[in-house]
Amino acid sequence: MFFSSMGHGAWEQGMNGASRLDYQTVVNVLFDHHGIKKKHRKALFADLQTMEIPALNAMHESNQ
């Protein structure tokens, strides 16, 4: 649910489209917005990183 709430604004854009999640701003804002407690953020962050590469691959495939 958290991952799907990120939308397009959470992705930094490069020359070939989305290049990575914007961890410094968007992810931290969404942690606060969703009321994710600090003690749970490390595990959720690891989950986000696990989902990031497959999501990028899917976005890049759909753009070709």
- Kindly report, residue by residue over 6-49, the tens digit of the pLDDT: 776 788 888 888 888 888 888 888 899 999 999 999 999 999 99
Structure tokens at 24: 């410094």
- How many domains in the chain? 1
Rg (CA), the chain: 12
Instruction: Give the pLDDT confidence score for residue 17 in this predicted structure.
Output: 84
The domain of 53 spans 3-62
For residue 12, what is the enclosing H or E element? strand 11-14
Q: Say yes or no to pLDDT of 62 above 80.
A: no
Which pLDDT score, from 0 to 100, does residue 36 have? Answer: 94
Gap between the Cα atoms of 7 and 51, Å rounded: 14
Encoding tokens for residue 32?
A: 């606060």
What pTM did the predictor assign?
Answer: 0.72
Residue 19: φ, ψ to 5°: -120, -30
> What does residue 35 show for φ and ψ, rounded to 5 degrees?
70, 30
